[in-house]
Amino acid sequence: MRIGSVVLVVWLIIGALAAGQRHYYSSSDPNCSRASTIAVTIVAGPLNYIGVNPKVSCKALQPSK
């Protein structure tokens, strides 16, 4: 169980580094798409370095007129 926890933490750290290298943290305009892309990139972990480039697009509902 301990080895699995260590592997998981290292996996997530690698994903966070990949998101940082793609400058996902530098935007001052947070939105659904940006936050989702950061989360998916972190979860993808080392897969980012073998060609996975996850992107998420969100559309918020607009109020009716």
- Delimit the domains of the chain by residue range: 2-50
Residue carrying the six token digits 């290298």: 21
* C-beta neighbour count of 43 within 10 angstroms: 12
Task: Tell me which residue of 51, 54, 48, 45 sits closest to 14, measured CA to CA.
Answer: 45
Angle at 16 between CA 21 and CA 41, to 5 degrees: 85
Query: 46 falls in which pLDDT band (50, 70, 90)?
Result: very high
Calpha distance 18→61 (Å, rounded): 31
Look up the pTM and report it: 0.78
Q: What's the mean per-residue pLDDT of the chain?
A: 87
